């Protein structure tokens, strides 16, 4: 039940909702598509095993060296559901890497992965990793294993579903379940309830093509600093103090006994659902 196939497809990030068809008792595996999806609990089933992975933050690449975005979290949970109810799923996106050379260019934060009942009742959220920044020679911060996001210096993380704080004139904070990340010059990521779009990246330096934050609330990168990761609560954008990392997104499960860890691989988010 913990085997995934990631297509790696890069598709339009519009908010068209598509249905996931299921057979009773079958495991369904969902990968990043850039769209919200729905899952109908099969009739006669009242519990789901959900394994969700948040996306990695964006990498910063230059001069033969790559600084990597933080890792997303992995949530393995058993959740109670109602037979026949429909859940909404957002699978987080890992942003494309950005070239930094010697001119700053912070990468953007990754997108959290959400499994939600109704408009805003989270069952499982796997937080995303934050972005790397090459000029400071530093990787992005990992997702957190608590519902609060990761802070960065004076930049506060989101809590209770809110978004993370942006860095003035620089990167945006990660979006949360119900609150958007705040803006720098790069925009904060949108919350799940506002559609989950990643924040646009700062555009005032020559940093190649613009790599927005990952779908799932990733904060847009700044000219010189990395964006925060999306999650149950958003991670903070990177503080300007040398040596500080951008903060990853928070993780959550309605199953208080869920196993929440940091994933060891990099990539887009994923979800596996097994009814029983």
Q: Which pLDDT belongs to residue 13?
A: 31
Domain membership flag for residue 89: yes
Residue 194: phi and psi, rounded to 5, are -100, 15
Domain membership flag for residue 133: yes
Domain membership flag for residue 228: yes
**Residue 50 confidence class, pLDDT cut points 50, 70, 90:** very high
**Rounded distance, CA 235 to CA 228, Å?**
5
pLDDT one-digit tens code per residue, 119-153: 999 999 999 999 998 777 789 999 999 999 999 99
Domain membership flag for residue 43: yes
pLDDT one-digit tens code per residue, 150-159: 999 999 999 9
Domain membership flag for residue 256: yes
pLDDT one-digit tens code per residue, 227-257: 999 999 999 999 999 889 999 999 999 999 9
Instruction: Give the residue-averaged pLDDT of 15-39.
Output: 75
Question: How many domains would you assign to the chain?
Answer: 1
Instruction: Indicate yes or no: pTM above 0.85.
Output: yes
pLDDT at 23 over 70: no
Domain membership flag for residue 115: yes
Q: Which pLDDT belongs to residue 42?
A: 96
Q: By residue range, what is the domain housing residue 69?
A: 23-276
How does strand 98-99 pair with strand 60-62? Answer: parallel
What percent of the chain has a predicted confidence (pLDDT) above 70? 88
Instruction: Give the residue-averaged pLDDT of 3-15.
Output: 34
Domain membership flag for residue 16: no
Domain membership flag for residue 47: yes
């Amino acid at each position: 039940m913990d085997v995934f196939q990631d297509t790696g497809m890069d598709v339009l990030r519009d908010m068209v909702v598509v249905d996931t068809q299921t057979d009773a008792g079958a495991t369904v595996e969902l990968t990043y598509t850039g769209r919200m999806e729905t899952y109908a609990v099969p009739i006669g089933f009242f519990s789901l095993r959900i394994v969700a992975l948040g996306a990695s933050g964006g990498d910063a690449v230059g001069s033969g060296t790559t600084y990597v975005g933080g890792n997303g979290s992995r949530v393995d949970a058993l959740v109670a559901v109602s037979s026949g109810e429909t859940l909404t799923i957002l699978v987080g996106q890992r942003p494309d890497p950005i070239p930094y050379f010697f001119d700053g260019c912070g990468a953007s934060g990754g997108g959290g992965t959400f499994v939600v009942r109704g408009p805003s009742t989270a069952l499982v959220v796997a937080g995303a990793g934050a972005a790397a920044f090459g000029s400071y020679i530093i990787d992005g911060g990992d997702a957190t294993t608590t519902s609060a996001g990761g802070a960065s210096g004076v930049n506060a993380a989101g809590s209770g579903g809110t978004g993370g704080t942006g860095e003035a004139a620089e990167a945006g904070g990660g979006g949360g379940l119900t609150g958007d990340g705040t803006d720098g010059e790069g925009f904060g990521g949108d919350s799940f309830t506002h559609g989950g779009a990643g924040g646009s990246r700062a555009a005032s330096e020559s940093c190649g093509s613009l790599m927005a934050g990952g779908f799932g609330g990733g904060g847009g990168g700044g000219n010189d600093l990395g964006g925060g990761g999306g999650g149950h609560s958003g991670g903070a954008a990177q503080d300007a103090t040398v040596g500080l990392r951008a903060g990853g997104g928070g993780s959550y499960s309605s199953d208080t006994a869920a196993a929440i860890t940091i994933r060891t691989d990099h990539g887009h988010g994923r979800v596996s659902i097994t009814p029983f």
